[in-house]
Amino acid sequence: MKRFKLLMILMVLVFMPVFFVNFELPNINPKAKAQIQNMTPPTVLAFTRLGDPLPGLEGKIFGRFQSGKFQFERDHLVEEGLGPTFNDFSCVACHGFPVTGGSLDSIDDITFRIGRITRGKYNDLERLGGEPLSNKKVVPGCEPQTVPAKAQFVSPRAAQQLFGSGLIDAISEATILSNADPEDKNKDGISGRPNMVFSPHFNEFRVGRFGWKAHWPTLIDFTGDAYIVEIGISSPDFPRNRVTNGKKSACDTANGPEDFDGRVTNNFFDFMALLAPPPQNQLDASATNGKAIFNSLGCVSCHIPRLTTANLSERPDLITPVLANQEANLYSDLLLHEMGDELRDGIQTGIALANEWRTQPLWGLSSKRFFLHDGRTRDISKAISAHGGEATASRDKFLKLKSTAQKDLINFLKSL
């Protein structure tokens, strides 16, 4: 009987999204739609609203966006594998502000990473339930995950916005590597380097690009990791439940991946890959001046305004051709930079050291509540003042600006 109930619940969850498949295009105003269809790709993106799918998605592919959104928003159940320990019931719980696909709306949604140094070597404490902790919630009757006493570093992490994730995923590795300058050969004080990390999905090392430390190379890898870490559901690329306090939990009765064919994981991926990038606002006089200041302070050395996505012959696997040959205005080089002591958190991931961070993309900044990797501030100028290391010269110039010039710069950032 219990089996039957479980089967029914699973059938509903798995097939429900299919009902969305025949939905029509989102209600963009018809004039804009006509214009979009006659345009070359890069300009197309300007027409979307926050949380919209990429423009120009028709039929089945738009259905996949809707199904993915449904899965992203729904609460997961113990019967399908939730937990035993987990951080929240749904993806949207931490990626819901101001709309689905956004970032955290309350500081309570912060999660933690842990680590320590044992005899000079970094230890991610994964064997004790570590590096990203799934310790905020527990299925009733199961053992909760505690912060291990051995953890020397406990570092808070704020959720990223997911708008435009498909574009970030579609940038070729060669494009990212072309901006790297690990030995600072051009002597500008900026020496971005790529993280190199293992992809369980593709079974090889690749250039990292997602996450605060660029510690996941592809969107599908991050998706599987988020499912097991945040919700406690295993899937084909991440087939086992994590341990609780170093041991297999008595509640872990899973035999094989809980999302057994990866269907739900792929649904999440579809939604994120098809989410349009954040719309950029028109610049008024102050923001136009701010843009010039942004360039002159050297912010652009790391926050590179635009990277172009791969073309279809380089990436025939792209979920939609709309993602090919696009200009992604993300304001990041996706590389790691040494950012000084104020931002050092002790955690090392891949080759990223304790004070190294991926240049945070600035698109979507106007719709975020909390800034920096640990969400420590709601004030954009404080986020800039915390920059150090390779960004010291740039930060010092910012601090020396007259207050009207600082305001112009912030107005520009708020247009992104």
Q: Does 82 bind ligand HEC (CB under 6 A)?
A: no
CB of 285 to ligand HEC, least distance (A): 19
Q: Is 285 exposed, middle or buried (0-12, 13-18, 19+ CB in 10 A)?
A: exposed
Per-residue contact track with ligand HEC, 163 to 182, x per CB under 6 A?
--x-----------------
Q: Does 125 bind ligand HEC (CB under 6 A)?
A: no
Q: Does 193 bind ligand HEC (CB under 6 A)?
A: no
Q: Rounded distance, CA 219 to CA 236, Å? A: 15
Q: Does 298 bind ligand HEC (CB under 6 A)?
A: yes
Q: Which of 82, 138, 162, 287 binds ligand HEC (CB under 6 A)?
A: 162
Q: Does 222 bind ligand HEC (CB under 6 A)?
A: yes
Residue type, 180: A
What three-state secondary structure class fits 336?
Answer: strand
How many residues lie near ligand HEC (CB under 6 A)? 54
- Near ligand HEC in 341-360, by CB under 6 A: 343, 357, 359-360
CB of 36 to ligand HEC, least distance (A): 25
CB of 219 to ligand HEC, least distance (A): 6
Q: How many other CB atoms sit within 10 Å of the CB of residue 238?
A: 24
* Cis? peptide before 321, omega within 30° of 0: no
Q: Which of 384, 406, 415, 416 binds ligand HEC (CB under 6 A)?
A: 384
Q: Which of 380, 406, 408, 411 binds ligand HEC (CB under 6 A)?
A: 380
Q: Rounded distance, CA 188 to CA 368, Å? A: 31
Q: Does 223 bind ligand HEC (CB under 6 A)?
A: yes
Please, which contacts does 191-196 make with residues 24 or more away whose CB atoms are closer than 8 Å?
191/337, 191/338, 191/390, 192/302, 192/333, 192/335, 192/336, 192/337, 192/359, 193/335, 193/336, 193/351, 194/334, 194/335, 194/336, 195/336, 195/349, 195/350, 195/351, 195/352, 195/358, 196/350, 196/351
Q: Rounded distance, CA 278 to CA 46, Å? A: 9
Binding site for ligand HEC (CB under 6 A): 87-88, 91, 93-95, 109, 111, 157-160, 162, 165, 190, 210-212, 219, 222-223, 226-227, 230-231, 268, 272, 297-299, 301-303, 337, 339, 343, 357, 359-360, 365, 368, 371-373, 380, 383-384, 387, 390-391, 394-395, 398, 413
